[in-house]
């Protein structure tokens, strides 16, 4: 998993509108699992809310959602979509006495300090409130995955681009999330994390896929000439595949109850 890196995190602000338009959402079953049977009475703190993609899904069910987002342009998009968002790092954010039923983090908890984060989450949760953090891992159709794997292997990259959005195939192993769950458990504020998986899929055209790749910090951090060359090869690979493909996603939810 990624270590917290504020400089990399700020890259998202350069593509905030594109991020909101092209990043995938989350399956309804996942949102229902998080908010439970009575979402209208639920107060939710969404950590690293970004442009509010997950926040809006919870709010649509009636939950009262507040976002915390380090990146001001991302938070501004969330605000325009109806999600109030405080601009701050979660570790330094001042809750001003506010307490929540849920602390959530969609595709963002790996940016949070592994020691400070769980303790801060526990401090703003009601007794028996829940911390729910989740990621979507995507895998290409195997043949396209093989072709893209060759593209990425040829590219002059300083580090591999991965985590379900690069060249992953259906047969690739799942990432190891144990450091995250171990860190949540280590401080003693939470019970053992529960893990649930939610499969779903989304179909992408070549242009849509390339557009959303620009919103990933590892791709955005590439020098412009390297990124242009890589994207041209990715475009060729998808067009040879037929110009579109269906990505198989699994959203993995880790939930832990405050003791």
The phi, psi pair for 171, rounded to 5°, reads: -85, -5
What are the distances in angstroms from CA 150 to CA 95, 109, 184?
Answer: 47, 30, 37
What is the reported pLDDT for 170?
80
pLDDT of 157 > 70? The answer is no
What is the reported pLDDT for 105?
98
pLDDT of 100 > 90? The answer is yes
- Give the residue with greater pLDDT, 38 vs 103: 103
Convert the pLDDT of each residue in 2-35 to its tens digit. Answer: 444 556 656 677 789 999 999 999 999 999 999 9
In the beta sheet, which residues pair with residue 201? 248
**C-alpha neighbours within 13 Å on the C-beta side of residue 140:** 25
Convert the pLDDT of each residue in 199-214 to its tens digit. Answer: 999 999 999 999 999 9
Instruction: Give me the domains of the chain, ranges plus CATH numbers.
Output: 6-257 (3.40.50.150)
Is the full-model pTM beyond 0.85? yes
- C-alpha 65/C-alpha 82 separation (Å) is 10
Give percent of the chain with pLDDT exceeding 70.
92
Convert the pLDDT of each residue in 108-122 to its tens digit. Answer: 998 899 999 999 999
């Amino acid at each position: 998993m990624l270590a917290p890196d504020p400089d990399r995190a700020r890259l998202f602000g350069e593509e905030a509108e594109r991020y909101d338009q092209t990043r995938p959402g989350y399956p309804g079953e996942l949102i229902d699992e998080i908010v439970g049977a009575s979402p209208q009475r639920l107060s939710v703190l969404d950590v690293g809310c970004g442009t509010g993609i997950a926040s809006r899904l919870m709010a649509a069910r009636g939950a009262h959602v507040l976002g915390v987002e380090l990146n001001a342009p991302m938070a501004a998009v969330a605000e325009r979509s109806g999600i109030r968002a405080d601009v701050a790092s979660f570790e330094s954010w001042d809750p001003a006495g506010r307490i929540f039923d849920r602390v959530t983090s969609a595709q963002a908890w790996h940016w949070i300090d592994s020691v400070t984060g769980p303790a801060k989450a526990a401090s703003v949760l009601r007794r028996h409130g829940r911390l729910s953090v989740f990621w979507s891992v995507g895998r290409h159709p195997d043949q396209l995955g093989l072709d893209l794997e060759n593209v990425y292997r040829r590219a002059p990259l300083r580090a591999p681009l991965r985590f379900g959005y690069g060249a992953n195939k259906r047969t690739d192993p799942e990432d190891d999330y144990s450091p995250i769950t171990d860190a949540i458990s280590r401080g003693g504020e939470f019970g053992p994390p529960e893990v649930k998986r939610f499969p779903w899929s989304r179909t992408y055209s070549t242009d849509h896929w390339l557009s959303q790749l620009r919103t990933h910090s590892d791709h955005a951090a590439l020098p412009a000439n390297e990124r242009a060359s890589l994207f041209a090869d990715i475009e060729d690979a998808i067009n040879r595949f037929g110009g579109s493909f269906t990505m198989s996603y699994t959203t993995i939810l880790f939930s832990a109850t405050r003791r």
